[in-house]
Structure 1
């Protein structure tokens, strides 16, 4: 919501004139026409994401924060994103890369792309100078020299070759998937592709706590499973990653593939090659 002179913000406990807020610092208290006091603050990005108009499901703030950190998205980074969805993750990535960076977002559905464009422009107050939004399939991308590739799509394993071509050596690919079957297929595809180091996979859960004097207890609600994250580093061209140190448990792979899956060179104590 943008404040405009002469307008009002209506609540179920009365209206608040925009004029009471315009020109005032954040953190003031205003009173509605119904006599209720409200604390006035600008919305944070997390607030905006949870209330923004949606086409596709948004990436929750807890996951967007981990993507920015664990994919190591830095100011000035060149980032390739697929798909844009409702633009929630795009906002977080643009915040991280800044005006000097570059974010190229692919979205296959034109209606979702339009929602994402509007949400990004609403949050930043207009088009972001670092953002390019393209309607189309990432498989058609010819981007090169990217520092990071972020995949928020149903089948990220289908575009790993494109991600590998786009990334610089040492760059990070990060996939966000919803189900265990997607997680398994993504991780195994990264291992089989050959251009990536051993992937890491995890999920995060967030629980609030009630703190009132000595009454300290976990909240009754929490943001549990929203999605899995997988990250891997791009190897230099022609390099083969050292084998994994740990042997998979029996039954992890089909019998015909077990010999290959557990083929690690013997070293001290039977371990595989040392980690670098």
Structure 2
């Protein structure tokens, strides 16, 4: 059931080959995923880039166009993939993802159950966290979404650590074959409380469950269902505020310093020097959802 091949790796410490997926980085807010094809070209505002020039270069390379412009060819890590993937559903972003992996105590070798798969943003990071000896079993009731997710996991190199199945977890629960084997479970469902009895059976003793819900009413009902056989029930809302840091000239207004009467008149200072400035980004992500965690009670 659980893959045990310790030779499997998730690594991009190699050169780019024909057919590889790369993240073309123009700037922090302009990236796209591109499949390398020897006969293809990429055209953007910086000029034309031949894919054939990319083959054989290591990930992270700076490559130039016919006009002298340049981009960086980055590896499709889970963090970057979250920023460029196709949104088939609402996705989790890095702030929520990192929090989920920490609080679910996911480490290499863990067996993780997830429902639903959606666009696969979280799944990709879960796969990296359990590699090389763990595995993620993820479920979605929508057959086309599941098929698209499989393709994405192949493209990003994590398919060895992920199994995608079509199943209505909310209606059927998790497969009995995982009873008592799961280290962690993640739920992203409209009615997670319906799955909690099944999740309880799947978890190992002291295993942890996380439920992601956009509405507080869903959280309240889930917490009520968790109280019987779970402990350490906590809910978090992750709000992230990012800053832009850039160098420029700060033409400050005239600063007046009031002197002591014995020092004479006020002194005016008009600095106009290069400096590093930081300011909040114009677009800040607000509420995404509530993360509710609970630990299965140990049998006495």
Task: Place the TM-score, normalised by the shorter chain, in its bin.
Answer: 0.7 to 0.9
2:295 aligned residue (207, 229, 233): 233
Q: Deviations over 1:138-186 (max 9, x none)?
A: 2342121211111111111111000101111110001111111112222
Range 75-84 or range 33-42, more displaced = 33-42
The answer to which structure has the higher helix fraction is 1
SS at match of 2:283: strand
Match of 1:106 among 139, 155, 168: 139
Structure 2 unpaired stretches of 5+: 1-33, 247-274
Is 1:136 equivalent to 2:170 in the alignment? Answer: no
TM-score by length of 2: 0.73
- Secondary structure of the residue aligned to 1:40 is strand
Moved over 4 A (4+): none
Query: Deviations 1:226-270 (Å, cap 9, x if unpaired)?
Result: 111110100023x5xxxxxxxxxxxxxxxxxxxxxxxxxxxxxxx
2:16 corresponds in structure 1 to none
Q: Please, which of 54, 58, 61 is the counterpart of residue 21 of structure 1?
A: 54
- Is residue 211 of structure 2 the alignment partner of residue 179 of structure 1? no
Partner of 2:128: 95
Contact 1:56 1:112 in 2 (8 A): no
- 1:206 equivalent to 2:268? Answer no
Cα separation, 1, equivalents of 2:287 and 2:236: 11
Query: What is the number of residues matched between the two proteins?
Result: 234
In structure 1, distance between residues paired with 2:194 and 2:61? 51
Closer, same or farther in 2 for the Cα pair 1:56/1:211, shift >3 Å?
closer
Cα 1:44–1:94 change in 2 (3 A) is: closer
Q: State the structure with bigger RCO (CA 8 A, min sep 6), 1 or 2.
A: 2
CA distance in 1, matches of 2:173, 2:217: 25
Change (3 A) 1:20 1:68: same
**In the alignment, which residue of structure 2 is the partner of 1:121?**
154
Query: Matches of 2:75 and 2:129 in 1, distance apart?
Result: 20
User: Are the structure 2 counterparts of residues 7 and 224 from structure 1 closer, same or farther at C-alpha, using a change threshold of 3 Å?
Assistant: same
Residue in structure 2 matched with residue 252 of structure 1 by the alignment: none
Alignment check: 8 A CA contact 1:107 1:135 kept: yes
SS at match of 2:282: strand
Larger Rg: 2
Tell me, what secondary structure is at the counterpart of 1:198? Answer: strand
Q: Which residue of 1 aligns with 2:280?
A: 218
Tell me the residue number matched to 1:150. 186
Shift of 1:206: 1.6
Q: Does 1:79 align with 2:141?
A: no
Question: What is the deviation of 1:209?
Answer: 1.2
TM superposition score normalised by structure 1? 0.79
Number of the residue aligned with 1:165: 201
Superposition CA RMSD, Å? 1.8
CA distance in 2, matches of 1:198, 1:70: 11
| 2:25 matched residue in structure 1 | none
